[in-house]
Structure formats: C-alpha cells, structure tokens
C-alpha cells in the first residue's frame, strides 16, 4: 500500500484535551515534501490534525521527545530505554475543529486511542487561519509552520482587550511593535489614534510618514514637535514627587493649600468652572515660581520690634528668576529683628525645588513653551491645544520620544503623560474625542523602566487603571517588556493577548506561561529556543494560538545592534572626533 505522506502516527492516549501521539516508526523523513512544500514535523507550536469522519480535530504540538511519552511508558523507559524501539512521541493540545470549510475554536468531540494523526497542509492551514474580518485583520508576519502563510491578528481585540509583547533583549520586541503599529497605521482609517511611549527614540524612522514625533530638543525641520508636559496638569502629589527631598504630611498639606489658592485665582481667570470642584489636583495653570517665592519668603521674613511689621528688605527678590527676598537677619536673644515663628522649616526642601526649577533638563516640564503660566497663572495656550497637538494632527501615530529625558524622572514623566491622557479621555467620554468614540491605543515600550510591581508610582497606578477599566473607556494598551517577572501581575493578567518572543530567564518564562492559556503552559520551554522575531502568539487577538515569525521592519529600528566585526573593519576615526563627542556631551545634544 502506498504510504499516505501526511500520515505521521496515531493517538496513544487522551487526557482532557491533551493528546499523546506515537509517531510511526517507518515514517520516511522529518521534513517531507508534499506538493512541493517542505513541512517540518514535530515542531513545537505547529499543528496536527485527527480526521474523525465528517470533522477534523486540530491540535497544537506542545511537547516533543521522550517527555511527551505517556507517564507509564516514561517510567519504563527510564529503567530500560530500549522500550521506545524507534518510536518518537509528541504531545498536543486540541484547539479546534473543522467541519467543511469552517473552523471553530474549541472541540466538541474527543479522539480515541488508535485514531490516525496527520500533518496539516497549507490548504488545511488556510482554513484554520482564515476567517478574520478584513476590516480589522492585520498581517504581521508568517506562520512558522509554513512560510507561505500569513500570520494575522484581529486589531479590534488587540486594542480592546490589551496585549503584552514579552521577550529578552534582542528577541525582536521593538521590531514586532513597529510591524504591528505600522500595519494598523497603514489601514485606511482617517481617525486612528495610537500613542507610543518611546524611551529610546526608536520608532520615528520605521513609522516615518505615519507619525508625528514629540521630543525634547525637537528638530522642527524634520517635522518634530517640542514635547511639553505642563507641570500644572499633574496631580499635586506627583508634582511634589519631582522635587528632591521629603516633606512631612503637615508641610505637604501646607504647600497644597498654597497651590490651591493660586489655582483658584487662575480658575477665576479661565471662568466657567465650578469653584467647589477645584482642588490642588485640578489641571489648572498656576505659577510654580510664584508658589516657590511665596513659600520661600514666608521662611525668610523677619520682623521689627513689634513682631508684626516686616523688616525692610535688603534685597528685593524675584519670582521669575527664583531669587529670594532678603531681610536683615534675625538677632540673637530678645532684640529685633525677630524670626518668623510660624515658619515651617522647609528651606532645605525649597532649595531643592529651586534648583530643579532652574535645571534646564526639566524645561519641558517647568517651562513648557506656550503652556508656561505668568505670575497670575494665565497661559497663552491651554490643555485643549496640547491635546490637539498630541492627537489632532493628520497622522495615525503619535510618538512621545523620551530619549532625552533624564532617566531618574522617566517614571514620573511617562506616568504623568499617561495620567493626563487617560484623565482627559475619561472625562471626555461623552465627547467625540473621548475613548469611547475614538479609541486610543497606548503603546508602552520598555515598560519595566517605569512600571515595577509593588511600587506605588503614578505610572503603575495609571497603567493598572488602564489595564482594569481602560476597555470601558476605549483605551487599549500594548505593553512591551523584557522583564515580565518585574511587572505587576494584575496588569499582565489583564492582557487578553500575549506575544511571547524568545526568553531564557526561568522566572520570566514562569510569568509568561502563567499569563498564557492553561493548555499552552507546557509550551513555555520552547520560548528559549525561538529565533529572533519569532513568537508564540496566543489569546483573543488570534483565531488560534500559533508560532509566528514577524516580518522585519524596512527601516530597521534604531537600536539595531552594532556589528563589531563590520564596524571595526573601518578606519580608526580621527582623534578630533572626541572633540565633537565632548562638545555634544557638554551641550547635552547628539549632533
């Protein structure tokens, strides 16, 4: 009888939806060629099928080799390896069934021992992977099982149910993000809205023509916009956290009340606001220089003999340049000038605050262009114009390039940007720019840099809120990290889809497999042997869990690893290069 080339073995045992397969010992090749296409047998993450009369059951290989043997046999094998007598073993989980040309996830019937197991050909796979809605499907690469077959994702599910891209450094996460976002951006949607936090400034080149870039020290000729994050839009506590030094609760409350006074004044200028709704957390401009000056003055002031009349100033200070008022110093004992006995003892904190306010690296925050408040709190531009510059431009993607931001405040800033955005979309939920009417996809690359589990920071609180309820308000999240084990578990568990790239760290693998569907946990082992750009994609955005090779982005992402053997083959650069190098360093610029 002629050997059917797709037949590879038979079902040996079934437990739940896990099936053990004994491969035929006479199977001619590991890489059979059927209709001119080479198939690889026994690849973890590839499919097999079990024909049952009118239906075909499909399973995904999760284990291969001796460990895939049934328990009983494995014991015997350990005592006497010859019992295997040339057979190979596979374990798979059943994932769906095909009737005619339609494929459904989940199985109604169960195979039995002795049922024949077949390779899945490209024609079969077309049925399995077909059935995406053309409007929302995006193509991100090829199926590893068969390179001629596109790997697709359902963009709607990806956005509404959140997604995590996990993998070691260099496993291809940033490339995967570029491909995914590009695929979304290339759809003919006039009001698509993707917001990327880009800690390394990697994405502008791969997404050029589809994005607007916001960065500190922008190059307007390249179409970039200056990144401004007005400090006054931050909740009070987060604003204080930017300054070095700690405040007692009492002193924090004291400063809070002073900030509130200033916000109240500018609220009356803006008009149309409910007075009782205004708190120190309200996104209302106020002059932080004035706040500093008033607080500082209160600490420094000295009084005449009546202990009520301020002494005459020696030097008149200035809020604009953050110069203190100077009074005649208080004398010792019982003669004037007298100290301000109500002073709070916060001059140390105020000094730290002043130096931060003067630090040019923080200009994007404290001198945010047209959003800088004058002493009475008025600003030339207000938040509506900030949001329209962030999202109202003609491109589907907004990239916030944070590469120029000092790393010690990276966490606060990315948190603040997210918080401001999420709050705006939340409160605007009934408007046409709210998330419910115009969903937003937030891409958080290198999330471990600003999201640590157990840390009560603005970024982790905001991301947790988005993970838990962003769905209701039309805010989806694409979270990218190389350290899933450092990520808050509730955040990871809220991700409906997981794209797991190569990963070798055992703890990280554990976290990833815990986040994947139960049946796929056995597959965690394969994660360490994935090729660069190859991933196990599972969850709601795919019809069926699959092993996928992402396309490579055309303009390689900027962080592409330098290739030493190629670069060292060039002439040694002139020593004068170091002049430029140091000048750039001193100017804090890259060119």
Q: HSE-up of 65 (CA within 13 Å, CB side)?
A: 6
Point out which span in 12-20, 55-63, 165-173, 215-223 binds ligand ADP (CB under 6 A): 165-173
Between 267 and 444, CB nearer to ligand ADP: 444
Element (H, E) at 415: helix 407-427
Whether omega before 337 lies within 30 degrees of 0, making that bond cis, reads yes
Pairing mode, if any, of strands 440-444 and 397-401? unpaired
Query: Is-contact 136 476, C-beta < 8 A?
Result: no
* Minimum distance of ligand ADP from residue 563's CB (angstroms): 9
Considering only residues 134, 561, 569, 570, which one is a binding residue for ligand ADP as defined by CB under 6 A? 561
Considering only residues 74, 265, 339, 556, which one is a binding residue for ligand ADP as defined by CB under 6 A? 556
First to last CA, the chain: 73
DSSP codes of every residue in 424-491: HHHHTTTSTTSTTTS-EEEEETTGGGT--TT---HHHHHHHHHHHHGGGGTEEEEEEES-GGGS-HHH
Distance CA 591, CA 589 (A): 6
Number of residues this chain uses to bind ligand ADP (CB under 6 A): 17
Q: List Cα–Cα distances, 104 to 94, 101, 128, 549, in angstroms.
A: 12, 10, 8, 23
Between 190 and 562, CB nearer to ligand ADP: 562
Point out which span in 129-137, 154-162, 453-461, 550-558 binds ligand ADP (CB under 6 A): 550-558
* Minimum distance of ligand ADP from residue 242's CB (angstroms): 29
Point out which span in 111-119, 163-171, 281-289, 427-435 binds ligand ADP (CB under 6 A): 163-171
Considering only residues 17, 116, 389, 552, which one is a binding residue for ligand ADP as defined by CB under 6 A? 552
The alpha-helical segments, DSSP class H, found in 2-139 are: 71-79, 122-129
* Minimum distance of ligand ADP from residue 550's CB (angstroms): 4
* Minimum distance of ligand ADP from residue 551's CB (angstroms): 6
Distance CA 96, CA 106 (A): 4
Looking at residues 262 to 281 of the shown chain, list those that interact with ligand ADP (rule: CB under 6 A).
none
Tokens representing 403? 């590469």
Q: List Cα–Cα distances, 193 to 313, 425, 447, 475, in angstroms.
A: 55, 12, 20, 10
Of 124, 118, 121, 145, nearest in space to 9 by CA: 118
Residue 157: what are its φ and ψ, rounded to 5°? -70, -40
* Minimum distance of Mg ion from residue 165's CB (angstroms): 9
Considering only residues 45, 172, 201, 285, which one is a binding residue for ligand ADP as defined by CB under 6 A? 172
* Minimum distance of ligand ADP from residue 523's CB (angstroms): 19
Considering only residues 560, 584, 587, 589, which one is a binding residue for ligand ADP as defined by CB under 6 A? 560
Q: Which residue is nearest to ligand ADP (CB)?
A: 533
Between 173 and 509, CB nearer to Mg ion: 173
Residues in contact with Mg ion by the rule CB under 5 A: 173-174
Q: List Cα–Cα distances, 144 to 141, 306, 532, 545, in angstroms.
A: 9, 86, 12, 12
407 binds, among Mg ion, ligand ADP, none (CB under 5 to 8 A by kind): none
* Minimum distance of Mg ion from residue 199's CB (angstroms): 9
Q: Is 243 in the site for ligand ADP (CB under 6 A)?
A: no
Q: HSE-up of 489 (CA within 13 Å, CB side)?
A: 9
Between 173 and 193, CB nearer to ligand ADP: 173
Q: Is 174 in the site for ligand ADP (CB under 6 A)?
A: yes
Q: Is 555 in the site for ligand ADP (CB under 6 A)?
A: no
Q: Is 533 in the site for ligand ADP (CB under 6 A)?
A: yes
CB neighbours (10 Å) of residue 397? 24
539 binds, among ligand ADP, Mg ion, none (CB under 5 to 8 A by kind): none
Considering only residues 46, 56, 175, 282, which one is a binding residue for ligand ADP as defined by CB under 6 A? 175
Q: Is 559 in the site for ligand ADP (CB under 6 A)?
A: yes
Q: Is 545 in the site for ligand ADP (CB under 6 A)?
A: no
Give the three-class secondary structure for 75. helix
Between 71 and 561, CB nearer to ligand ADP: 561
Q: Is 169 in the site for ligand ADP (CB under 6 A)?
A: yes
Q: Is 532 in the site for ligand ADP (CB under 6 A)?
A: yes
Q: Which residue is nearest to Mg ion (CB)?
A: 174
Per-residue binding letters, 376-415, with ligand ADP (x by CB under 6 A): ----------------------------------------
CB neighbours (10 Å) of residue 242? 19
Query: Is-contact 31 50, C-beta < 8 A?
Result: no
Point out which span in 170-178, 259-267, 275-283, 461-469 binds ligand ADP (CB under 6 A): 170-178
561 binds, among ligand ADP, Mg ion, none (CB under 5 to 8 A by kind): ligand ADP
Give the three-class secondary structure for 502. coil
DSSP codes of every residue in 486-540: GS-HHHHHT-SEEEE-----HHHHHHHHHHS-GGGGGGGGGGGGPPTTEEEEEET
Between 91 and 173, CB nearer to Mg ion: 173
* Minimum distance of Mg ion from residue 550's CB (angstroms): 13
Element (H, E) at 4: none
**313, β-bridge pairs:** none
* Minimum distance of ligand ADP from residue 492's CB (angstroms): 17
CB neighbours (10 Å) of residue 576? 8
Considering only residues 45, 59, 167, 484, which one is a binding residue for ligand ADP as defined by CB under 6 A? 167
Q: In what order do the strands lie in the sheet with 497-500?
A: 146-154, 137-143, 546-550, 534-539, 497-500, 163-166, 475-481, 440-444, 194-198, 397-401, 211-215, 225-226
Of 21, 25, 41, nearest in space to 33 by CA: 41
**14, β-bridge pairs:** 19
Per-residue binding letters, 483-502, with ligand ADP (x by CB under 6 A): --------------------
Q: Is 171 in the site for ligand ADP (CB under 6 A)?
A: yes
The footprint of ligand ADP (CB under 6 A) covers: 167, 169-175, 532-533, 550, 552, 556-557, 559-561
């Amino acid at each position: 009888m002629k050997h059917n080339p797709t037949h590879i073995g038979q079902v040996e045992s079934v437990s739940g939806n896990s099936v053990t397969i004994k491969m035929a010992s006479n199977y001619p090749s590991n890489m059979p060629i059927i209709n001119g296409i080479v198939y690889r047998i026994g690849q973890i993450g590839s499919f097999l099928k079990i024909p049952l009369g009118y239906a075909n059951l499909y399973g995904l290989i999760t284990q291969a080799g001796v460990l895939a043997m049934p328990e009983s046999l494995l014991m015997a094998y350990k005592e006497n390896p010859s019992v295997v007598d040339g057979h190979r073993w596979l374990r798979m989980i059943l994932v769906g069934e095909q009737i005619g040309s339609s494929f459904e996830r989940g199985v109604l019937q169960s195979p039995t021992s002795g049922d024949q197991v077949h390779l899945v050909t490209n024609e079969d796979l077309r049925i399995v992977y077909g059935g995406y809605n053309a409007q929302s499907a995006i193509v991100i690469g090829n199926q590893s099982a068969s390179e001629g077959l596109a790997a697709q994702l359902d963009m709607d599910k990806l956005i509404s149910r959140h997604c995590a891209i996990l993998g070691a450094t260099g496993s291809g996460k940033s490339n995967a993000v570029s491909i995914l976002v590009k695929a979304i951006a290339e759809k003919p949607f006039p009001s698509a809205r993707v917001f990327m936090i880009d800690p390394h400034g990697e994405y502008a080149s791969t997404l050029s023509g589809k994005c607007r870039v916001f960065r500190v020290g922008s190059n307007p000729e390249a179409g970039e916009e200056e990144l401004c994050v007005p400090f006054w839009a931050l909740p009070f506590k987060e604003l204080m956290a930017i300054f070095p030094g700690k405040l007692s609760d009492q002193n924090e409350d004291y400063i809070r009340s002073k900030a509130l006074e200033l916000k109240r004044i500018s609220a009356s200028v803006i008009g149309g606001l409910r007075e009782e709704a205004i708190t120190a957390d309200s996104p209302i401009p106020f002059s932080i220089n004035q706040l500093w000056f008033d607080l500082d003055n209160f600490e420094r002031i000295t009084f005449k003999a009546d202990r009520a009349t301020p002494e005459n100033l020696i030097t008149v200070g200035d809020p604009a340049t953050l110069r203190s008022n100077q009074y005649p110093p208080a004398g010792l004992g019982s003669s004037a000038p007298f100290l301000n006995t109500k002073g709070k003892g916060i001059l140390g904190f105020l000094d730290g605050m002043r130096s931060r306010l003067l630090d040019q690296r923080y200009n994007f925050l404290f001198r945010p262009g047209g959003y800088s408040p004058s002493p009475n709190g008025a600003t030339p531009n207000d938040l509506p114009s900030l949001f329209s510059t962030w999202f109202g431009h003609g491109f589907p993607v907004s990239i916030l390039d944070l590469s120029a931001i000092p790393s010690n405040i990276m966490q606060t800033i990315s948190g603040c940007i997210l918080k401001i955005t999420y709050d705006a979309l939340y409160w605007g939920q009934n408007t046409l720019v709210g998330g419910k009417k115009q969903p937003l996809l937030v891409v958080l690359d290198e999330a471990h840099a600003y999201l640590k589990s157990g840390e009560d920071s603005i970024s982790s609180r905001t991301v947790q809120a988005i993970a838990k309820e962003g769905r209701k308000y039309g805010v989806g999240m694409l979270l990218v990290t190389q350290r899933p084990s450092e990520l808050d578990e509730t955040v990871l568990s809220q991700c409906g889809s997981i794209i797991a790239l190569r990963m070798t760290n055992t703890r990280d693998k554990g976290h990833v497999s815990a986040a994947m569907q139960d049946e796929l946990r056995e597959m965690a082992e394969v994660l360490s042997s994935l090729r660069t750009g190859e991933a196990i994609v599972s969850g709601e955005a795919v019809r069926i869990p699959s092993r996928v090779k992402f396309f490579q982005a055309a303009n390689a992402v900027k962080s592409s690893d330098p290739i030493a053997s190629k670069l060292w083959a060039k002439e040694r650069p002139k020593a004068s290069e170091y002049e430029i190098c140091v000048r750039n360093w001193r100017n804090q610029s890259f060119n």
